[in-house]
Amino acid sequence: MVVGLSGGVDSAVAAFLLKEQGYRVSGLFMVNWTEDEAGYCTSAEDFQSARAVAAELDIPLHRVDFSAEYRKRVFDLFLAGYAAGRTPNPDLLCNREVKFQPFREHALRLGADWVATGHYARISHDVEGPTLLRAVDDNKDQTYFLAAVAREHFAKVLFPLGGLTKPEVRAIAQQAGLPNHGRKDSTGICFIGEREFRDFLGQYLQPEPGVIEDDSGAVIGSHQGLAFHTIGQRKGLAIGGRRGALEAPWYVVAKDHKRNVLVVAQDAQHPLLMTHQIATRPFHWIRRPPTLPTMLQARIRHRQALQACSITEIDGDCVRFNFEAAQRAAVAGQYLVLYDGEECLGSGEIVD
């Protein structure tokens, strides 16, 4: 069993549990990002944590550098998405393009019979192939980030933490004496780290200044580029108090790319932010599409409660959905992930 050891407590407990179950476990640490002049990325610290865990568990630890693959297959697509006015999700891209392709293949080349990670998800293997299922801990469920992975890449994969809650995982780590049992969970994206997102994007995307209008068309400010803002955004708009305006926050409700105008309003539930209908393309089915019509569930962001919806049309790789409750800030470039009860059916990039 080759376990992806990230240096965090989740993957450490996954390795511990599998060793307790009698597997011959090896760890594999993946380097995805090496360009870190300012010291924001924690990869070096993560590797030392993974080494300490491997030493405590008395298992071999391999290290592999996928930074070139990550740059081409995740980061370049991430930048291209923002430049085109979308809001891409690099975590889904990383799982699809790196963790369950070159990472899994490298583990199998090392001689693995099975590959495991510390994701909070469950997977069922039967004669028809693997089925991706939601984790028991709905607050930690990570199927949203796994929903773009090709079904064949889940073959020979296990998720040991799928039946556990985060507090249970912490308790196991402490009882087992794992050296990172108290380490904080990582947040954000490695290549950004603890810095302002706009400052990071500004290193790669050229400013394209334009005006900010309210929803009546009045100019009330300026922006440095639509790529630096996202639908539903509240902070960082630099709009001061305005005569006649409410003493309430402003929200980005639309981006007019033809005029390079950012549209804002003082209504968190503004009609431009709310929709019952979402179109996705391309839609990736982990299993075959369900028989229509049928009621399903979906989420358009991680940790959102499952939302009742139905498929209104399947046109090639485009799938259109209708939601019972209006959805807020369905952002182009993000993903809609579809469920039928516990089973994750797949995902599609939101286009409209």
Read off the tokens for 19. 């060793």
Neighbours of 247 (CB within 10 A): 7
Q: Which of 94, 309, 318, 344 is catalytic?
A: 94
Closest listed residue to residue 166, CA positions, set 13, 329, 338, 347: 13
Radius of gyration of the chain (CA): 22
344 among known catalytic residues: no
Q: Which of 41, 190, 309, 344 is catalytic?
A: 190
Closest listed residue to residue 211, CA positions, set 263, 251, 265, 248: 263
Q: Which residues contact 71 (CB under 8 A, 6 or more apart)?
A: none
Yes or no: say if 173 and 12 are a contact pair by the CB < 8 Å rule: yes
Residue 282: cis peptide before it, omega within 30 degrees of 0: yes
Active site residues: 94, 190
